[in-house]
Amino acid sequence: MARKSPHIIASSGRRKMPSLTDTQHSDADQYLAFNFSFITHEQKYSLDALMKRDRKFSQKLLKKVEALSTDRKVQVMNRNREQGFELMPFTEVRFRVDPKFHSMGFDEHLETGYWVFRLNKLGRVICGMINTVVYILAVDTDFETYKH
């Protein structure tokens, strides 16, 4: 049986997406979403330089983001640090956060530190997390942003 399209025809005759119900919103809010808008401009930890340098890294990053966003946040946060996240205090992490992250007030909503997820021996990704949105702030392939 063919699957029906989720589109609805509006009175203008154009297709539009159906709105989410309250149940669908609450379910969607339980999964992590990733945002790359505030990744540092510091060349050593920026995404552009790393993507050009290492295709294997790029593939691993995308696979990890997919894996972290597939399960509910509560499940992801209960994983060990190799499979999920670990919390690093602000004082232990050394890199320049994109000034827009501060000027737009996002940093005020971070609780006790940065969240880090690992890409095995390829590196680690430093993030800010507000509710279920994970803001990618830096990518560290040299393991220099903090000692651990």
77-129: pLDDT as tens digits: 999 999 999 999 988 988 888 999 989 988 888 878 999 999 988 889 999 99
**Residue 2: predicted pLDDT:** 46
**Residue 42: predicted pLDDT:** 85
14-46: pLDDT as tens digits: 555 555 555 555 566 799 999 999 998 888 888
Query: For the whole model, what pTM was predicted?
Result: 0.78
DSSP assignment of 62-91, as one string? HHHHHHHHHSBHHHHHTS-TTTS-EEEEGG
**Residue 95: predicted pLDDT:** 86
Please give the helix or strand (H or E) that residue 135 lies within, else none. Answer: strand 133-140
The residue that leads in pLDDT, 143 or 80, is: 80
As a whole number of angstroms, the distance between CA 87 and CA 72 comes to: 18
- Give the pLDDT band (50/70/90) at residue 9: very low
**Residue 57: predicted pLDDT:** 82
43-69: pLDDT as tens digits: 888 877 666 667 788 888 999 999 999
- Give the pLDDT band (50/70/90) at residue 8: very low
